[in-house]
C-alpha cells in the first residue's frame, strides 16, 4: 500500500469518527430537550386539571364574578391548544395574568380564603407553579445547550447536514411583568 492511500484512509476514518461524535452529541442534546419539554407538559396538564376546580370553588362564593371566571376558562382552553413552546409561553402568560386577576377577586371574599378546600387548591397551585418554573428553567437550559451546538462551528455543519434545527425557548409572555415585585398588603 502506498503512503497516500493510507493517509487518505486514515483521514476518512478520522472524518467519519468526528461526524459520528458530533451527530451523537446532537441527538443526545435533542432528546434532553424533548424530555425536559415533556416534564413541563406534565406539570401544565396538572394545572389545567386544577383550574376548573379552582373556578368552581370561587364561583360558589363569588358567582357575580362571571367575567373573570369565564376569562380563566377561556385562557385555559387557549393554553391547552397551544402547540409549540413559543405559543405555549404566550398562552401561559395570558393564563397566569388572568389567574392573578382571579386571585385579586378572592381577596374580597374572606370566607372563600378561609375555605379548607380553597386553601388546598391554592397549595396545590403554588406547588405546581414552582414545579413549572423549575421545569421551565431546566428546559430552557437544555434548549440553550442544544442550540449552541447546532450553531457553532464545526458542529453546525453536521447539524445542517442532518436537519437539526434550533429549538424554541419556553419564555414568559411578559417577562417584565413577571419580574415585578409583588406589593405586600398588611391588613390591620
pTM, to two decimals: 0.78
Regarding predicted confidence, which is higher, 22 or 86?
Answer: 22
> Domains of the chain: which residue ranges?
3-177
C-alpha atoms less than 13 angstroms from C-alpha of 150 in its C-beta half-sphere: 22
Q: Average pLDDT for residues 61-69, to the nearest whole number?
A: 79
pLDDT in tens, 117-154: 888 988 999 999 899 999 999 999 999 999 999 999 98
d(C-alpha 157, C-alpha 162), whole Å: 9
Superfamily of domain 3-177: LemA-like domain (1.20.1440.20)
For 80-92, the pLDDT digits (tens) are 999 888 889 889 8
Amino acid at each position: 500500500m502506498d503512503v497516500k492511500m493510507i493517509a487518505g484512509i486514515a483521514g476518512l476514518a478520522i472524518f467519519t469518527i468526528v461526524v459520528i461524535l458530533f451527530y451523537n452529541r446532537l441527538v443526545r442534546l435533542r432528546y434532553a430537550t424533548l424530555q425536559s419539554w415533556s416534564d413541563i407538559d406534565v406539570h401544565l396538564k396538572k394545572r389545567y386539571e386544577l383550574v376548573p376546580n379552582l373556578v368552581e370553588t370561587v364561583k360558589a362564593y363569588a358567582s357575580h364574578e362571571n367575567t373573570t371566571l369565564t376569562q380563566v376558562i377561556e385562557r385555559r382552553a387557549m393554553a391547552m391548544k397551544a402547540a409549540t413552546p413559543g405559543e405555549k409561553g404566550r398562552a401561559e402568560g395570558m393564563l397566569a395574568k388572568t389567574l392573578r386577576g382571579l386571585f385579586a377577586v378572592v381577596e374580597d371574599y374572606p370566607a372563600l380564603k378561609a375555605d379548607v378546600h380553597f386553601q388546598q387548591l391554592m397549595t396545590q397551585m403554588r406547588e405546581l407553579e414552582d414545579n413549572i418554573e423549575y421545569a421551565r428553567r431546566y428546559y430552557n437550559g437544555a434548549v440553550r445547550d442544544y442550540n449552541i451546538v447546532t450553531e457553532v462551528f464545526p458542529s453546525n455543519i453536521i447539524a445542517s447536514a442532518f436537519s437539526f434545527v434550533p429549538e424554541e425557548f419556553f419564555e414568559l409572555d411578559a417577562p417584565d411583568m413577571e419580574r415585578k415585585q409583588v406589593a405586600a398588603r398588611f391588613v390591620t
